[in-house]
Amino acid sequence: MDTQLLEAFVAVAATGSFSAAAERIHVTQPAVSKRIAQLEAHLDCRLFDRISRTIYLTEAGQELLPRAEQILRELADTRQAIRDLSGNISGSLRIAISHHIGLHRLPPVLKQFTTVNPEVNLAVDFMDSEVAYEGVLQGRFEIAVITLAPEPHPRIQSLPVWHDPLVPMVSNDHPLARVADASIADLSQYPAILPGPDTYTGRMIKRLFDEEGYPFSATMATNYLETIKMLVSVGLGWSILPVTMLDDSLQAINCPGLALARTLGLIHHKEKTLSNAAHAFIALLEGDAPRA
């Protein structure tokens, strides 16, 4: 079977659009339609239903998708392994990065990596740490730079890179800004703006309050720390944010009963053979990344 047919199928399934799939794999839309038709003829079944301009995978398409993705991954891995035999650092490297780390920690690392390794085609995907973690487990990403999971996974190799202390913060005119030594009980009396409960950071904060026996009112939740910072800075609530985000628009609250920190770092699948490019990136992160 021509792998170009599978590539077109996976692209349509991922984007939900023939035109978007064409852009993704750099062909024309008629070429994508032709490849899907050829694949459906080869398998003698429909792979997509088109209902009110929306594309849905059929039952056969749902069965094919993970297998097609696996075939394409193995083919890409094989090509990369053969290319790496030369010892050159080249080819493609796809990295998943959390939004916060991508904005605040990685720019100098990425710049140095691309400068030193110009033959590497670096692809960066920004997403929540939890999504990136699953992506590495499923083989979609070779490595990810994220908030490390509190509980290690037996198939994931973790490399701690940055210690990331978290502190409660409010706007300069918030009532808590005038409290010399705030308690967790004090915080629980005011609305909070926190990372979602599906995030490592959100679960860490909730666990602390649960252990202390205090509820808190999270009026808003978002996984984007930069959005939380903006909402806090205009007085809509307090939050617990990385100390590196503290600036003139916010005031840290001294809370002796609250001591939280995350570990940021790199992960990869233990059973996946890493490319030369991935090894080079890991070495750069280990040796040259700034530590807080």
pLDDT tens readout for residues 48-79: 988 877 888 999 999 999 888 888 877 877 77
**Percentage of the chain with pLDDT > 90?**
45
The CA-based angle 82-156-105, given to 5 degrees, is 90
**pLDDT, mean of residues 197-219:** 81
**pLDDT, mean of residues 132-160:** 90
Helix axes 59-84, 3-15, angle to 10 degrees: 120
What gap in Å lies between CA 95 and CA 268, rounded to an integer? 10
- For residue 121, give the 3-state DSSP assignment: strand
Length of the chain: 292
What gap in Å lies between CA 39 and CA 68, rounded to an integer? 11
What pLDDT is stored for residue 84 in this prediction? 60
Q: Above 50 in pLDDT, residue 206?
A: yes
What gap in Å lies between CA 118 and CA 97, rounded to an integer? 20
Q: What is the mean pLDDT of the chain?
A: 87
**pLDDT, mean of residues 14-41:** 90
What pLDDT is stored for residue 161 in this prediction? 93
C-beta atoms surrounding 155 within 10 Å: 11
pLDDT tens readout for residues 148-195: 988 888 999 999 999 999 999 999 999 999 888 898 888 888 999 988
What pLDDT is stored for residue 86 in this prediction? 57
What pLDDT is stored for residue 157 in this prediction? 93
Q: Above 90 in pLDDT, residue 119?
A: no
What gap in Å lies between CA 38 and CA 20, rounded to an integer? 19
What gap in Å lies between CA 88 and CA 94, rounded to an integer? 17
pLDDT tens readout for residues 232-290: 999 999 999 999 999 999 999 998 878 889 999 999 999 888 888 899 999 988 874 44
What gap in Å lies between CA 243 and CA 256, rounded to an integer? 15
Whether the CB-CB separation of 258 and 214 falls below 8 Å is answered with no
Q: Which domains are assigned to the chain?
A: 3-68 (1.10.10.10), 83-161+264-288 (3.40.190.10), 163-262 (3.40.190.290)
What pLDDT is stored for residue 290 in this prediction? 44
Least confident of 4-18, 80-94, 111-125, 183-197: 80-94
